[in-house]
Homo-oligomer: A and B are copies of this chain.
């Protein structure tokens, strides 16, 4: 008789954003007259930039003609895209990453949940608290996290690194030594950034203790300050300890297009074995590449026109971020983030829990945000708003919140 992967049964509740979706749908169904504004999930609202639309049309036409039809993609992704990434995201920033160290995928969510598969189940993971839930949940499913403590909402075998107002929402080096360290900067959910000097400390630490840093840089396009690194490979020594995960979802609005990539330097080894080889083997066996059309769309992101059009798009969202940040601050809220990231992290008023404030905002202001506790115990008492709405909706949402006079 077959049996299930029992690790799945250990997972508490369902995926955070599924829960939010269900709550919002239920509210909307009960109140069809109310205009709900969603600043919860980090989904973009601006349409694809013209240069990307053009590139996709061209690629669709190619797929419709025998001479230019494309079947299975090369395993690591098309060279035209990997070259554009190596050139623009790395070489241009002084990082020595080559095209053949880049693996094209259908997004950073998939990569960040799949990457743990190439590591031993005995490995100990360290995550920030609060944290993007996918890192932990994918490790729970694999059986790497031990037992769940319902009271504390923590896993026995996970090292939690609190990110609180006291440390500017960037973690301290952990006391217990981890094997795999998940870092995400600019951070989801807190919107905090890390300086190059602080990140260098992490790289030095990882090299010293023999840990791998899984560095999620999905929000790098939102960096506005000079001392904040866009890539972990700006730090010395990162080639021997870091894997970087990148996304086109937020810099180019590809949440519904699906494209991302993972960088594994060939110097990153366990004994004689390159992690690059293991990930290549996983790609070859468990994946079949991103669509040709989508990879051409990704290439257009790096064209001169693409970079100009997307700079505007990022600026649009960052104008929202400023509006939220300043509006809530004026209204007396304690806020952070929003400067190098499209997320605003606010302290819930009057000691409300995150879910209490979620329900309150949904019902009183018809605004959807994300309870900080959904990202981990140290997120309790906080709340995330995203800057990915339209400007009009963002203004209206902030004004409605201000009108509540909490």
Measured CB to CB, the residues of A under 8 A from B are: 1-6, 8-9, 11, 14-15, 17-18, 41, 43-48, 50, 52-53, 56-57, 60-61, 63-66, 69-73, 75, 106-107, 109-110, 113-114, 117-123, 133-134, 137-138, 141, 179-180, 209-212, 253, 255-258, 270, 273, 275, 278, 281-282, 284-294, 390
Q: How far is the CB of A354 from the nearest CB of chain B, in Å?
A: 20
Question: Which of these, B14, B106, B110, contacts A281 with CB under 8 Å?
Answer: B14
Q: Report Cα–Cα, A257/B56, bound state, in Å.
A: 12
Q: A256-B71, A285-B113 are in contact. Are A46 and B60 (CB under 8 A)?
A: no
Chain B contacts for A43, CB-based, 8 A: 71-72
Q: Are B56 and A288 in contact (CB under 8 A)?
A: no
Q: A45–B61 contact, CB under 8 A?
A: no
Number of copies: 2
**Contact partners of A282 in chain B: CB under 8 A:** 8, 141
Chain B min CB distance to A142 (Å): 8
Contact sample, A vs B, 14 pairs, CB 8 Å cutoff: A1-B210, A2-B211, A3-B120, A8-B281, A14-B281, A43-B72, A53-B63, A70-B256, A71-B256, A109-B286, A133-B285, A134-B286, A141-B286, A255-B288
A114 neighbours in B (Cβ, 8 Å): 286
Q: Do A287 and B72 form a contact, CB below 8 Å, given A3-B123, A64-B48?
A: no
**Would B18 and A284 count as touching, CB distance under 8 A?**
yes
